[in-house]
Amino acid sequence: MFNQRRERIIFSGRTWCAAAVLAGLMLAIRPAQALESTSAVAPAPLADFGAEPASTDARYAAASVMTSADNKGLPFVIVDKKNAKIFVFDAAGRLRGASAALLGLATGDRSAPGIGRRPVADIPLAERTTPAGRFPSQPGRNLQGEEVIWVNYSEGLAIHRLRPGNNQEQRRERLASSTPQDNRISLGCVVVPVAFYEKVVSPLLGKSRSVVYVLPEDSGVQALFDALSL
Cα 187 to Cα 223: distance, rounded to the nearest angstrom: 25
How do residues 5-57 score in pLDDT, each as one tens digit?
A: 444 444 444 443 444 433 443 434 344 444 333 334 445 568 999 999 999 99
The yes-or-no verdict on residue 108 having pLDDT over 50 is yes
- Whole-structure pTM value: 0.80
The answer to which of 123-127, 156-160, 166-170 has the lowest mean pLDDT is 166-170
Mean pLDDT, residues 202-227:
94
Mean residue pLDDT of the chain comes to: 84
* CATH class, 56-228 region: mainly beta
Are the C-beta atoms of residues 211 and 137 closer than 8 Å to each other? yes
The yes-or-no verdict on residue 150 having pLDDT over 50 is yes
For residue 101, the model assigns a pLDDT of 98
CA quadruple 6, 9, 12, 17: dihedral sign: negative
